[in-house]
Amino acid sequence: MLEERFIQFDIQVRTQREAVEALVALAAAEQRIADQQLVVQAVLLREEEGTTGFGQGIAIPHGKSASVLEPTLLVGRLGKPVDWQAMDDAPVDTLFLILVPETSHQEHLQLLAKLARKLMHEEFVATLRQLHNATEMFTFLQNELA
């Protein structure tokens, strides 16, 4: 689900919607989705059910759509934090966007649970904050989420 090409740093956005759109555009450029607008809509509709702002500047937005061709995990570090109505009310600067096809049932839930468990550990979050490029992030996440 995660490949180094799905990790982007210094994304310049001003809003939560723009952040989702930027990562969905990356998925589209990598031929992982068929229709960007449908996927953005699915992610934002899910966000309306309850915030995915986990806390500590991190959000785990996710969406399920027939327009998603392959399960994909995208990671984005924003140039400036944006409001996400996170559980701790802190703005978000790091996103883990999980996109899965409509027919997927368990895969994204398992990844979501694994990520959420890792994010409860201060050491994991501290290390995550020190990573400054896609290669470092990819290597770290491969080791931690394997």
Contacts of 82 (CB under 8 A, 6+ apart): 13, 14, 15, 16, 18, 19, 91, 92, 93
Known active-site residue 105 = no
User: 12 vs 16, 24, 63, 64, 81, CA distance in Å?
Assistant: 11, 14, 22, 25, 10
Helices of type H across 30-100: 36-49
User: Rounded CA gap, 93 and 96, in Å?
Assistant: 10
Question: Taking the alpha carbons of 16, 86, 94, 35 in that order, is the dihedral positive or negative?
Answer: negative
Query: Which candidate in 62, 105, 121, 132 is catalytic?
Result: 62
- What are 102's two structure tokens? 């409509």
Task: Tell me the catalytic residues.
Answer: 62
